[in-house]
Structure 1
Amino acid sequence: MQDDSQSTVSEHKHSLLDGWNSPPNFVTYIRILLVLVFIVLYARSGAWGQNSLGMRWTAATLFIVAASTDKLDGYLARKYNQVTELGKLMDPIADKLLIISALVIASIFGELWWWATILFLLREIGITVLRFFIIDRGGQVIAASPAGKFKTLFEFTGLAMLIAPLRSVGSWYLPLTQGIIVLALVLCLYSGGEYLYGVFGKRR
């Protein structure tokens, strides 16, 4: 999964809309649609799935599918040489829409601390806004750093475990899930710092 670890400002490249209808980008569009369905199902299932375990399991499945299909669009883009600036931009936005919706709903349900969700949101939204600014100024969106990739991996793993109604498997399950999410938060803040340094630090 691509993330927003670093970016550099460069000379004007191709139009942002170049290749908008490429197969990898259509995979990203479908993933965004899956996210919207996920939001509805997760919200309607209730805290810990108390309203409907079936909806909760379906929401968890869609979450995993939406996260996993990111690898498909990346594979197609590289295989057929269809990497586009729009794809580089929309891919992390799809990730963030999925992550942010899961974090907010989980906190509303009391399944996750609000302080963690707020820190995630500040970083994710702030970096995304900065990405738009850089692209608007003719900057180039580049791939994730190792910290950003690990952050995304732990983020999706922890949230998938939280959404899946599996608390009853043992008293260890929820603390393990929370620990993975906290690790993702640490990596989230660290990779955000890397991104900011890559944008502003090298200009000095």
Structure 2
Amino acid sequence: MDGWNSPPNLVTYSRIILVLVFLGFDIAAGPWGADNLPFRWTAAVLFIIAAATDKLDGWMARTYDQVTEMGKLMDPIADKLLILATLVVASVFNEVFWWVTALFFIREIGITVMRFFVIDHGGKVIAASKAGKYKTLAQCVGLAMLLVPLGSLAGPGEQPGWAVFYGYATQAVIFVALALCLYSGGVYVAGVLANRRGQAVSGR
């Protein structure tokens, strides 16, 4: 719990609150913003702000030498809350396949449980790998593209070529994020197992 109230961690807590506000607008907007288009635009903006501030707390922690174990733990949890909640709502609205959301969910929850397991057994939290950071970036870009209702700029009932291309590009980014998600999860598990083996050898 050391450093729980440091400025970078307070930013992380603020991001969690922002996620809850975002979800309220996203759910109220309905599928593709059909129930309330302004709410969908608002949800998209809030999502982008919440995703962008992920870099802010990390930058503050490194710049002002305020990196803490609490921050290493809470920062990815805030990311996962934003991403997974968005995916669940999108799947409920039939905007993302449920199997895609399920794979994201299994990986993210599994890694989070493993992080707590490492802490509970006296180990230190393993920071996110480069693959994990690229995964988060791809997730944020893909879901931001999904949330922005650009199709509403076309006329009623119209499906222009650019809108079709945008839809395919959005799904492609989300699938890239899924691939990075599974790969980075494997890298994390391998790192934890390697550390455990190292501890066992040093304890002989």
Same fold (TM over 0.5): yes
> Given residue 107 of structure 1, which amino acid in structure 2 is its aligned partner?
S
Q: TM-score, normalised by structure 2?
A: 0.89
Paired residue for 1:195? 188
> Given residue 22 of structure 1, which amino acid in structure 2 is its aligned partner?
S
Bigger RCO (CA 8 Å, 6+ sep): 1
* 1:91-170 equivalences in 2 (<5 Å): 91-167=75-151, 168=154, 170=163
* 1:21-36 equivalences in 2 (<5 Å): 21-36=5-20
Paired residue for 2:201? none
The structure with the greater share of residues assigned to helix is 2
Paired residue for 1:174? 167
> Given residue 145 of structure 1, which amino acid in structure 2 is its aligned partner?
S
Task: Evaluate the alpha carbon distance shift between residue 202 and residue 24 of structure 1 in structure 2; reply closer, same or farther with a 3 A threshold.
Answer: closer
Q: What is the CA–CA distance in structure 1 between the aligned matches of 2:4 and 2:85, rounded to whole Å?
A: 25
Q: What is the CA–CA distance in structure 1 between the aligned matches of 2:73 and 2:196, rounded to whole Å?
A: 23
Paired residue for 1:46? 30
Q: What is the CA–CA distance in structure 1 between the aligned matches of 2:117 and 2:195, rounded to whole Å?
A: 17
Q: What is the CA–CA distance in structure 2 between the aligned matches of 1:37 and 1:93, rounded to whole Å?
A: 17
Please say which structure displays the higher CA radius of gyration: 2
Q: Give CA-to-partner distance per residue, 1:160-197, whole Å, 9 cap, x none.
A: 00011113552101110000000000010000011111
Q: Percent identity?
A: 63
Q: CA deviation at 1:143?
A: 2.4
Q: What is the CA–CA distance in structure 1 between the aligned matches of 2:129 and 2:7, rounded to whole Å?
A: 25
Where structure 2 has 5 or more consecutive residues not aligned to the other structure, the ranges are 155-161, 198-204
Paired residue for 2:178? 185
> Given residue 192 of structure 2, which amino acid in structure 1 is its aligned partner?
V
> Given residue 111 of structure 2, which amino acid in structure 1 is its aligned partner?
I
Task: Evaluate the alpha carbon distance shift between residue 139 and residue 203 of structure 1 in structure 2; reply closer, same or farther with a 3 A threshold.
Answer: closer
Q: Give CA-to-partner distance per residue, 1:79-127, whole Å, 9 cap, x none.
A: 2111111111000000000000000000000000001000000000011
Q: CA deviation at 1:202?
A: 5.2
Q: What is the CA–CA distance in structure 2 between the aligned matches of 1:101 and 1:42, rounded to whole Å?
A: 10
